Amino acid sequence: MPTPEELDRIHIVLVRARNPNNIGAAARAMHDFGLRHLRVVNDYTVPFESARSAVDASEVLADAVACATLAEAIADCTLVVGTTAVGERDLQHPLLPLPKAAPSILAELRRNTGPNSAPGRVALLFGSEKTGLSNDELSHCNFLLTIPMQQREGERHLSLNLGQAVAVCLYEISRTPAQPVPAHPDIPSLPVPEAPKQREADPISGELDRLAQLIEETMEAVNYTTRGMRSANGEALRVLLRRLMPNDADLRRMMGLFRRILWQLKRPHDKF
């Protein structure tokens, strides 16, 4: 069972949620399982304003933060986990059933991510009621989790509503035993324990975005990618960087190399 301090490092991020009742139900589940930090991403007037006025809306809702973009909502997190109902699309991410995902989430909350001993921060993403998370939104994730179901053959696929999905995920996280459990081997990220020398800090999501941008710029500078392919490649690149999980030193090295390449490419050669 995670400690209150650990639970404070989990951010529930509702992306494009449309129904204030669902936002209210998600906040309620958070309150019940001891979480505090709700972030709501919407590109229009955030519907949780009306959820806030609902009776029994908890302190969680009062303190919820509205973000204009998903990148902003997860910028300070070291692990980003998307939730998905399987069978929807071809997934490019590792997909873990919830009972296996929860120990990885807890391990991240307990992981020392760098020299100043900052522990990991986790974002748990839930998509809109109708469409779930888009491919672009999924590209920000390190891995995906799904709630295992047992629908009967031949029956329609229905998924849990948003409030139910949040409640089930938080229940599982909160029931996970206190003993550190080895992270699932299919997630390349969760760090191979290295020799106990000084460790480099892990970059947060916003830093990975900056590296991705730089690489995209380089790709464009060398015509590696046509303008039309850019958004698809950008998405793939975000997925790649999150799956690889470079640490801070790796990131600096890669940023340095790509800056240098760009500088070299942009030198006015024809003046020689």
In three-state secondary structure terms, 51 is helix
Rounded to a whole number of angstroms, the minimum distance from the CB of residue 9 to a copy of itself is 14
Nearer to a copy of itself, 65 or 168 (CB): 168
- Distance CA(256)–CA(36), nearest Å, equals 38
- CA distances 258 to 125, 213, 219, 249, 253, Å, are 31, 10, 10, 14, 9
* Edge-first strand listing for the sheet containing 37-41: 65-67, 37-41, 10-15, 122-126, 79-83, 143-146, 95-97
User: Closer CB to a copy of itself, residue 7 or residue 15?
Assistant: 7
Nearer to a copy of itself, 135 or 171 (CB): 171
Q: Which is nearer to a copy of itself, 68 or 178 (CB)?
A: 178
Nearer to a copy of itself, 70 or 143 (CB): 143
Query: From CA 30, how far away is CA 12, in angstroms rounded?
Result: 8
Query: Smallest gap, in angstroms, from Cβ of residue 137 to a copy of itself?
Result: 21
CA dihedral 12, 18, 20, 23 (to 10 degrees): -10
CB of 166 to a copy of itself, least distance (A): 8
Q: How far is the CB of 79 from a copy of itself (least distance, A)?
A: 16
Q: Report the alpha-carbon distance of residue 61 to residue 69 in Å, rounded.
A: 19
Minimum CB distance to a copy of itself smaller for 73 or for 205: 205
**Burial environment of residue 261 by CB neighbours within 10 A (0 to 12, 13 to 18, 19 or more):** middle
Q: Which is nearer to a copy of itself, 57 or 123 (CB)?
A: 57
What does the DSSP 8-state code read for residue 271?
G
Minimum distance between the CB of residue 45 and a copy of itself, rounded to whole angstroms? 24
Structure tokens at 253: 């090295």
Q: How is residue 154 written in tokens?
A: 């031949």
CB of 69 to a copy of itself, least distance (A): 26
| CA dist., res. 68 & res. 72, Å (int) | 7
Single out the residue of 40, 105, 98, 51 nearest to residue 74, CA to CA.
Answer: 40
For the bound state, the minimum distance from the C-beta of residue 255 to a copy of itself, rounded and expressed in Å, comes to 11
